[in-house]
Each structure stands twice: as structure tokens, then as C-alpha cells.
């Protein structure tokens, strides 16, 4: 019940922007120590530990097994890189590396990409991978029936041809510097496969063993894998709906790893206990107080800045997550290449807030309704915001709404004044360049910079443009970015090789070993 909107936004806010291929070092590397992030099939497998069963505990069970038919965050977590692979892969360190693609070339105008496929790759059903499968797989994502959150990322695709069995040519209508990055989200599926909602036919190191709905999903190491075989024999994802039940499972060794801890209260049982490792990964999930920038009073920049500066974010973060998490001054998390520390642009300063309100014509404050999703942490954040704003004479009326109502009322109809929401993806600052997005931020300069960044020819150019965007939205307090969530993976200390950053919800398991 906790994550619905987060998941939707998570997967949707992916009009990402990045990189061209293997040469440029775009991805940020993880800031934290801890177990080695698994990099790819090329990762050497530690010896002598190859027959373990890895038990993983997760709150995100797949809806079904097809990521173009509403499978959701859960199927990405279980299958991405494990069962299905893309032409490219986003590593846990945030780099895009070739996987089923051997190499590619781009035409001089940047519109035609020619990919050469790796040889000797077969699907779990035994059929060899050909360019026709790649074409069909991309078409699955962009087809009218597709519910893929990535669909809009591929609007620029004008045509796909397959001149030879191991060559695919994708033609774009306009330049897209993030095209290769986006391809990392496209699973290559056997074009002849059917019933993908309950079975699979991918090229990854594991095959699906059994999915017991409401309970678990197990993957078995596949002996016909084209790359380095998985370091463990079997991986079982155990699904929970209750964070306490999940912690209990870890405490009783029923699971080895918890993929994404969402409840701060459970952490104390593991911290300082030598039997467990609490990993602080690099997070991209931001808690936002979102203004409707179209309507009064939040159409005024001073009012937004006044509200932002009236909230003691450090105190809020500490109240919710203790010493975990990070303060941010804009939409960009430290792992995005265009990050700058902008926390000083709108400092916590109630005196400044009052002054700004007076300038904006609200010397005695005002009242507004805050649409608050009913799941954590929003209700707590709403109460905090309410008490902080009361100090500058602004009255907050908290209106609790379900995730479903939020989607209809706030996201689709834009029928709100302010709301709270978490935005989970990396590189999602680009949404401030879309004036039709739900928050209604409309600055033509920013829109132009975002477009220029996407059609940039170099990563430096793209980065420079998005830094401008970043600085401008902070100056305009387009939204109030309250804090960056921590990304926490807790594991028994006898397992290693698991990913800790959980980028875009994936959880590659093939490098995990158990002592």
C-alpha cells in the first residue's frame, strides 16, 4: 500500500539524459564503501562459493512478469540483468556498458545508430539471438498496447531495420543524447515467446524457476548462459508487505538481504550488530513539497521562496531518518553529473521568509490546502510543514488523499495548490522543462535548456545546459526539495557482491556469494 505513486513516478520520470556509449565516463560512481557493486557479466566470480541459494527479502512483488504489461517495479528488481538483458546495461555505479550489443556506430547527423550484436547468445528456450528479436523487443516497448513507463523515452524513433541477423539499425527523427542510456531499459525478449506475464524467455544468467504469487519468486542458474556463469546456484526473492515481518525474516536468517529498507525504526536492530551490514547507497529519491506554480499564491516566486526558507529541512530529515539521508537544494541528487550544492540558495531563515511574504503582498500570511498522500512519510512531513509555516503566519490545511486519488486529482487534473510526493529516478530534473507537467513550472529559458541538453552532441555540453537548469529552478524555488532519502540495503555479513545503490529498482544478483 505504501509505494504506488512512487513506483509509477519511479519508472516514469525517465526521460533521462545521458551518455553516448562506452567511451564517456558519465555515470557517477558510488560514494559509499561496502560490498562491491556488481558490474556485469564480466565481473570475475569469486571461487569456491558457487552453490549457495541466496534469499532476498523485498517489499516489491511483481504484478506480472511483463514489464510492458504493468509488471511494475518488482519485475524490474527480480528480472533486470538476471533473466532479461538489454543491448546496454546500467551498472550499480551508474555507468552504461554494452551487454548484448557488441558495438555501435552513429551517422554524422546523429540520427542513425547501427548496432552489432554479440555472437553466440541464445535465449533460455535455446533459440539464438538475432536482430529480429531486438527489433521486436524495442517495438514491444513502443507499441500502442504497451504500458511501459519508458515508452515516451523512445518517441524519437523513426524506424528500425535489420540488414543482417546480427545488425540492427535504429533511425531517429531528432538527436537524442540519452538514446543509449534509454536502451538499457529495453529487455531483449525472444520474439516468438508467448505468455510473458507468467513465463519468460530471456538471455540472462538465470531462468525463472517458480513464482508463487504473494510469496516468492525463484531463479535458477542457467547452464547455457553466454557469459560468466552466476556466482550462486539459486536466488529466491521473498515478498513481504509488512516492514516488520521483513526485518524479522532477516533477524531469523530466513532472508540474507533486504533490498530496500523503507522503515527507519527497524534499522536499530541491525546497526552495531556484527552479524549484519547496513549499507548506505547512493539514493536518487527526493521528498518534494510540490507547489502548483500556475495558481495563486504559488505563482509568485517570492511566496515559494518564503515557504521553502521557512522549513527547517535539517530538523525534518533528522526527525524521520536520524543521521541518514542528505539535504538537497534542487531536484538534482549528488550522483547526477550536473549536480551542484545549491542548499544555500534558499537557506532556512524564517526572518527572510517573512520579508519575502511582505514583498509578495502577503504580510499577514495566507492559508492553503496541502494534498497529502496517506502513506509514509508524507503525513509526518505534512505535520512538520504545517507547524513550521504557522511560525510565519501561513496556515496549512492537510487534506489526506490515497495514491489513486493523487494520480487523478493532482497528476492528471492539476487540481491542487500544493502537495507532497517522492520522485525516485535519477536525471529527472528535465521535467522542469515541461510546462505541461503537473507542477506547472513554466520558464521558457529552462524549457529551451532542457531541449538543448537532449540534442547536445557532447556530454559536457549536456552537463553545462542542465547545470543552468538546476541553478535556475533553485533560484525560482520551482518546488521545495526537502531532502534526499537514504538508500539502505541491509544484509547478513556472510553475503557479499550485492548491489547497494538499487538504481532504477534493479537488483542484479549474479555476483552475490555466501560464505
- The Cα 310–Cα 308 span in angstroms is 5
- Interaction between residue 167 and other proteins (CB under 8 A): no
- Residues 65-84 interacting with other proteins (rule: CB under 8 A): 69-70
- Interaction between residue 42 and other proteins (CB under 8 A): no
Stretch near other proteins under the rule CB under 8 A, chosen from 32-40, 90-98, 132-140, 401-409: 401-409
Nearer CB in complex with other proteins: 148/285:
148
- The Cα 86–Cα 452 span in angstroms is 27
User: How is 425-485 classified by DSSP, letter by letter?
Assistant: -TT-GGGGG-TTSTT----HHHHHHHHHHHT-SSHHHHHHHHHHHHHHHHHTT-SEEEEEP
Angle (nearest 5°) at CA 280 between 72 and 308:
80
User: Which residue in the set 192, 242, 265, 383 belongs to the binding site for other proteins (CB under 8 A)?
Assistant: 242
End-to-end CA gap in the chain: 35
Q: How many helices (H) and strands (E) does the chain have?
A: 12, 20
User: Is the separation of the CB atoms in 371 and 330 below 8 Å?
Assistant: no
User: Is the separation of the CB atoms in 134 and 87 below 8 Å?
Assistant: yes
- Interaction between residue 48 and other proteins (CB under 8 A): no
Stretch near other proteins under the rule CB under 8 A, chosen from 200-208, 322-330, 407-415, 495-503: 407-415
Stretch near other proteins under the rule CB under 8 A, chosen from 148-156, 297-305, 384-392, 476-484: 148-156
Stretch near other proteins under the rule CB under 8 A, chosen from 90-98, 214-222, 304-312, 493-501: 214-222
- Interaction between residue 212 and other proteins (CB under 8 A): yes
Look up residue 290 and give its three cell numbers. 510540490
Shortest gap between Cβ of 41 and other proteins (angstroms)? Answer: 27
- Interaction between residue 143 and other proteins (CB under 8 A): no
Stretch near other proteins under the rule CB under 8 A, chosen from 9-17, 125-133, 257-265, 386-394: 9-17
* Enclosing H/E stretch for 102: strand 101-106
Backbone angles phi, psi at 467, to 5 degrees: -65, -40
Q: Which of 318, 322, 327, 315 lies closest to 266 in space, CA to CA? A: 322
- Interaction between residue 1 and other proteins (CB under 8 A): yes
Nearer CB in complex with other proteins: 236/484:
236
User: Is the separation of the CB atoms in 89 and 147 below 8 Å?
Assistant: no
- Interaction between residue 252 and other proteins (CB under 8 A): yes
- Interaction between residue 271 and other proteins (CB under 8 A): no
Nearer CB in complex with other proteins: 7/306:
7
- Residues 191-210 interacting with other proteins (rule: CB under 8 A): 197-198, 210
- The Cα 176–Cα 20 span in angstroms is 10
- Interaction between residue 246 and other proteins (CB under 8 A): yes
**Number of residues forming the site for other proteins (CB under 8 A):** 46
User: Is the separation of the CB atoms in 89 and 97 below 8 Å?
Assistant: yes
Stretch near other proteins under the rule CB under 8 A, chosen from 28-36, 165-173, 250-258, 341-349: 250-258
User: Which residue in the set 46, 111, 125, 151 belongs to the binding site for other proteins (CB under 8 A)?
Assistant: 151
User: Is the separation of the CB atoms in 413 and 440 below 8 Å?
Assistant: no
Backbone angles phi, psi at 410, to 5 degrees: -80, -55
User: Which residue in the set 22, 112, 249, 451 belongs to the binding site for other proteins (CB under 8 A)?
Assistant: 249
Which positions lie near other proteins, rule CB under 8 A?
1, 4, 8-9, 11-13, 63-64, 69-70, 144-145, 147-149, 151-152, 197-198, 210, 212-216, 218, 236, 238, 240-242, 244-246, 248-249, 251-252, 254, 402, 404-405, 407-408, 411
Amino acid at each position: 500500500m505504501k509505494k504506488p505513486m512512487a513506483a509509477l513516478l519511479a519508472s516514469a520520470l525517465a526521460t533521462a539524459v545521458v551518455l553516448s556509449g562506452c567511451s564517456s565516463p558519465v555515470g557517477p560512481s558510488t560514494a559509499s564503501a561496502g560490498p562491491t557493486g556488481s558490474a556485469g557479466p564480466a565481473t570475475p566470480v569469486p571461487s569456491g562459493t558457487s552453490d549457495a541459494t541466496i534469499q532476498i527479502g523485498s517489499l516489491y512483488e511483481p504484478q506480472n512478469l511483463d514489464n510492458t504489461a504493468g509488471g511494475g517495479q518488482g519485475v524490474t528488481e527480480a528480472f533486470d540483468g538476471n533473466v532479461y538483458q538489454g543491448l546496454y546495461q546500467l551498472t550499480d555505479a551508474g555507468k552504461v556498458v554494452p551487454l548484448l550489443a557488441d558495438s555501435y556506430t552513429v551517422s554524422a547527423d546523429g540520427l542513425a545508430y547501427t548496432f552489432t550484436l554479440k555472437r553466440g547468445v541464445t535465449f533460455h528456450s535455446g533459440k539464438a539471438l538475432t536482430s529480429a528479436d531486438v527489433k521486436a523487443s524495442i517495438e514491444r516497448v513502443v507499441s500502442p498496447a504497451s504500458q511501459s513507463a519508458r515508452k515516451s523515452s523512445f518517441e524519437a524513433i523513426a524506424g528500425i531495420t535489420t540488414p543482417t541477423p546480427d545488425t540492427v539499425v535504429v533511425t531517429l527523427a531528432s538527436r537524442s543524447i540519452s538514446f543509449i542510456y534509454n536502451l538499457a531499459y529495453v529487455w531483449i525478449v525472444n520474439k516468438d515467446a508467448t505468455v510473458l506475464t507468467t513465463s519468460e524467455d530471456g538471455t540472462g544468467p538465470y531462468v525463472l524457476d517458480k513464482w508463487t504469487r504473494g510469496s516468492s519468486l525463484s531463479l535458477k542458474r542457467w547452464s547455457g548462459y553466454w557469459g560468466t556463469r552466476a556466482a550462486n546456484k539459486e536466488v529466491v526473492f521473498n515478498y513481504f508487505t509488512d516492514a516488520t515481518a521483513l526485518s524479522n525474516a532477516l533477524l531469523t536468517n530466513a532472508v540474507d538481504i533486504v533490498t530496500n529498507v523503507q522503515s527507519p525504526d527497524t534499522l536499530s536492530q541491525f546497526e552495531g550488530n556484527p552479524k549484519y551490514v547496513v549499507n548506505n547507497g547512493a539514493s536518487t529519491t527526493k521528498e518534494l513539497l510540490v507547489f502548483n506554480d500556475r495558481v495563486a499564491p504559488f505563482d509568485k516566486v517570492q511566496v515559494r521562496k518564503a515557504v521553502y526558507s521557512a522549513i527547517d529541512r535539517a530538523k525534518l530529515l533528522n526527525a524521520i531518518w536520524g543521521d541518514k539521508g542528505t539535504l538537497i537544494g534542487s531536484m538534482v541528487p549528488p550522483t547526477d553529473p550536473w549536480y551542484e550544492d545549491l542548499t544555500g540558495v534558499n537557506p532556512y531563515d524564517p526572518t527572510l521568509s517573512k520579508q519575502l511574504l511582505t514583498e509578495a503582498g502577503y504580510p499577514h500570511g495566507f492559508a492553503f490546502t496541502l494534498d497529502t498522500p496517506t502513506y509514509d512519510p508524507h503525513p509526518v512531513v505534512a505535520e512538520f510543514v504545517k507547524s513550521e509555516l504557522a511560525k510565519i503566519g501561513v496556515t496549512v490545511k492537510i487534506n489526506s488523499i490515497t495514491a489513486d486519488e493523487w494520480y487523478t486529482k493532482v497528476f492528471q487534473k492539476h487540481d491542487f495548490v500544493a502537495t507532497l510526493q517522492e520522485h525516485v529516478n535519477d536525471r529527472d530534473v528535465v521535467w522542469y522543462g515541461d510546462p505541461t507537467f503537473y507542477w506547472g513550472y513554466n520558464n521558457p529559458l529552462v524549457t529551451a535548456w532542457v531541449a538543448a541538453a537532449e540534442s547536445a552532441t557532447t556530454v559536457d555540453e549536456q552537463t553545462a545546459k542542465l547545470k543552468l537548469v538546476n541553478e535556475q529552478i533553485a533560484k525560482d524555488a520551482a518546488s521545495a526539495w526537502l531532502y534526499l532519502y537514504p538508500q539502505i540495503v541491509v544484509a547478513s555479513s556472510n553475503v557479499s557482491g550485492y548491489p547497494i545503490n538499487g538504481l532504477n529498482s534493479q537488483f542484479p544478483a549474479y555476483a552475490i556469494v555466501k560464505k
